[in-house]
Structure 1
């Protein structure tokens, strides 16, 4: 019972912190971490120890699958070169930089332990990245690269981490590590593909929205545990399955399942994200209690040095990684050098999160300087979240990278909607001369022609007065219909389930109309 009360209390606190983040316009994850730290120092509060196996096995799979589900595979594949340069190259470079600095500042620290620290803090976190980037309106390619990097960089970092930990017991070679990375990552992709394809076949055959949504949730854990059981990358497996399910959702899932599953998954993401970051903050008290052998000045110096190197090394890697490939003429013609402001934003968006903390806590109990490494990892997470997370929006706007929000629909969306409306109209025109369906088709043709007129040119220039008036009249009529439905419910006792069903249809239509009017940016 105490555990249930504690979880509910944390969720209530998370809601309060979410409101603070909205009012202060600070990143939600930063407020949660700082809030968790404040809670940890309240007298009488019990210490919270986050089991690393719970962090990796319970929190990570659904969050990664949700990110993979939203990933545009075409954009991901088109940007595979910069994604791999960050997810593999930058992770290895950062690991090396951190290891060199840690070894120089702590001469007694074995090289394997220094490399383990580098691997722990090297990968930016998918959860941390999404919690910050969702508030901003970045160019699509930047978002694709950042999210793509954070989805697959854990595989490279965790391989280095495992070999560094193993090196404290036995020797290993870099070639052995490279081969292991290929096997671990490739095995994760293969397992994710097989189980993802199986899920795409099974889920639609359940023919029940609730069961289909539950199955999609179970799938992420099945993929993760199956991969980890054979020592493959559970991260890569979950991401692969999530991308497959996202690509197939529009053809294999029903419209109702897509709508309701989206709401369920958004709720799960909010709860899991919130709990992860607030629990990260609550770890500090327990960590500090085990470091009484170090002076505060020593700890501050070590933490500051590691955090600075962590942030600077990303700049050092990304600048040449962006410039050098484009010295090859074929790459430069196909992919011209982006604005320098993109490089700055890409370098500054390197927030760390739950994976780094979980990897640190998973160090063996007898690992050299274990408590110090956990403390340094925590400080690195805090530094990137607070320093980079709170200033990322300012940097983006200062450099003019953020895309301007427009009340009007983008031309790509308007063009896509017009294609749908025109195709629907063309199909009805084909039925107009049909001896059986012709009369019905002729009867509803005006409605579809009106839809085409409404969308024609909506994303290019000012919305015509007539089109706006048509949409406003439709919206007013819909609202009047809703009011009449509610009055019928109150006066004549309309069944509650029927009220909910009709109300949902009216809600969806209202969202569509408001989107066309440009009154809402969230469709």
Structure 2
């Protein structure tokens, strides 16, 4: 394809993202579903070329920043607290699902080698980080379920990639060693973690020495690809390296970033991640045409592969449910034996967790990277794509309804010890203490009376609000509504003065920034 046409296609894809996101919002659909369906329709549009996706390039471009984003903002305390449950899903559920899919595939196609069946299982077994994020952004879950799904999506790609590489090697060489596979997994994981720790430490030291906001944001934007590529360069897990780096950077960003850097960087990063997430689903949809053509056309695919694919999709879903419910039963059994460190999710919580296994870009990239001439390659490719479509279109659209049916509540053990109002009261009290200590000079004369009065009044009112939140909420909403109205009026007057030539551009931008900060502060306080 001509480079100019390729650039035009990319711009067209981003325009389609905006249109499809807007359509999803208007129709009440998850954006991932609209993007996937829109990309599939565009794939068959007259005049558009068949999109050939390079699997290695897709993984390198899209996976690192999306993994970094998940690790950066994840609740680290809850991640540590639920690490055993996350490991159970990220490793145990992936291996179990891989085995189930391999067995079912071999029963459907006895002539297909076991290694090829296992390769299909490895491809479709890990739920995808991108798809999980797209679904979780649209629903409200208890903190424990949220962290289990987020943590699983961060770490399970490493399990799937290791399984995939070993099954491909087994098909080519005819030999497979479970001991070697387990040993390789731990080497890759530990090595990836060490690379991530090194990159994260260097980033923290670097950011502390850089003084330019834009240099800091640029260095941070490149962090994910640096970690992933260095991990792969040293033949360890680039996924684990990226996640580890993201956890370190996310932990330290509160102390090494200035307020301006954090605001600018978060805005830039949010738009970047939005475009990359959306582009992933568009690319998956656009790849449909090539997959169908490879399978012999839509009629041939449905007639010859439809039923086996449906059976595998059902087996895949049931395998996840079996693992989740089995793990919950083990926790119940431990509780009966007096080991009560963990609390069972219960049937409703387990149902939600089992239904949340959406596949995406990793499955597509692994399927496309199956070597030419590999046994059953066309069936593996079509099945992988069908699994992505099925999980996104079915589970992605119905997860919200399943959560609403479950009526899950937050366990007392997962609730923070302090509410937001109590935390604000503690902050206000600490601020008042430091202002009071500096409000007098060495001779005991009050030199900052207005500051002292302001912070004392603020500390007193916030403590009072924390004790009677419901009484004050309507008054505060009205207060901040009026603040927002005043900001809007001030902005209109500022623009009028600029349009009339009464003030210059520098004054406009400076005062507009102050109004923006005041508006954001009022919106945050009202929320």
Give 1:383's match in structure 2, choosing from 382, 390, 406. 390
* Residue 313 (structure 1) aligned with residue 319 (structure 2): yes
The residue matched to 2:222 in structure 1 has which SS? helix
Q: Is the 8 A contact 1:326 1:332 kept in 2?
A: no
Q: CA RMSD in A?
A: 2.2
Within 2, Cα distance between the matches of 1:464 and 1:98? 53
Give 1:73's match in structure 2, choosing from 72, 76, 92. 76
Give 2:426's match in structure 1, choosing from 414, 419, 428. 419
The residue matched to 1:258 in structure 2 has which SS? helix
Q: Is the 8 A contact 2:97 2:125 kept in 1?
A: yes
* Residue 271 (structure 1) aligned with residue 275 (structure 2): yes
Question: Structure 1 residues 396 and 465 mapped into 2: Cα distance closer, same or farther (>3 Å)?
Answer: closer
Query: Which residue in the other structure is 1:287 paired with?
Result: 291
Query: Which residue in the other structure is 1:485 paired with?
Result: 494
Q: Is the 8 A contact 2:331 2:343 kept in 1?
A: no
* Residue 16 (structure 1) aligned with residue 19 (structure 2): yes
The residue matched to 1:337 in structure 2 has which SS? coil
Give 1:368's match in structure 2, choosing from 375, 382, 403. 375
Give 1:504's match in structure 2, choosing from 488, 506, 513. 513
What whole-Å deviation, never above 9, does each CA across 1:425-481 have from its counterpart, x for those lacking one?
Answer: 111111233338964432212222332244335453231676566555655554454
Query: Which residue in the other structure is 1:298 paired with?
Result: 304
Query: Which residue in the other structure is 1:406 paired with?
Result: none
Query: Which residue in the other structure is 1:193 paired with?
Result: 197
Query: Which residue in the other structure is 1:407 paired with?
Result: none
What whole-Å deviation, never above 9, does each CA across 1:88-144 have from its counterpart, x for those lacking one?
Answer: 000000000000011111112111111110000000011101111111121111111
Residue 48 (structure 1) shift: 0.4
Query: Which residue in the other structure is 2:413 paired with?
Result: none
Within 1, Cα distance between the matches of 2:338 and 2:224? 37
Q: Which runs of 5+ in 1 are unaligned?
A: 404-409, 519-523
Residue 87 (structure 1) shift: 0.3
Q: Bigger CA drift: 280-289 or 244-253?
A: 280-289
Within 2, Cα distance between the matches of 1:387 and 1:108? 31
Residue 169 (structure 1) shift: 2.5
Residue 42 (structure 1) shift: 1.8
Question: Structure 1 residues 63 and 296 mapped into 2: Cα distance closer, same or farther (>3 Å)?
Answer: same
Question: Structure 1 residues 420 and 506 mapped into 2: Cα distance closer, same or farther (>3 Å)?
Answer: farther
Within 1, Cα distance between the matches of 2:504 and 2:181? 64
Query: Which residue in the other structure is 1:45 paired with?
Result: 48
* Residue 231 (structure 1) aligned with residue 235 (structure 2): yes
1:206-285 equivalence runs, <5 A:
206-285=210-289
| TM-score of the pair, normalised by structure 1 | 0.93
Q: Bigger CA drift: 365-374 or 284-293?
A: 284-293
Within 1, Cα distance between the matches of 2:213 and 2:99? 48
Within 2, Cα distance between the matches of 1:35 and 1:437? 71
Q: State the number of aligned residues.
A: 512
Residue 486 (structure 1) shift: 3.2
Query: Which residue in the other structure is 1:335 paired with?
Result: 342
Within 1, Cα distance between the matches of 2:473 and 2:391? 47
Within 2, Cα distance between the matches of 1:453 and 1:502? 31
Within 2, Cα distance between the matches of 1:91 and 1:389? 19
Q: Is the 8 A contact 1:189 1:236 kept in 2?
A: yes
Query: Which residue in the other structure is 2:136 paired with?
Result: 133
Question: Structure 1 residues 501 and 108 mapped into 2: Cα distance closer, same or farther (>3 Å)?
Answer: farther
| TM-score of the pair, normalised by structure 2 | 0.92
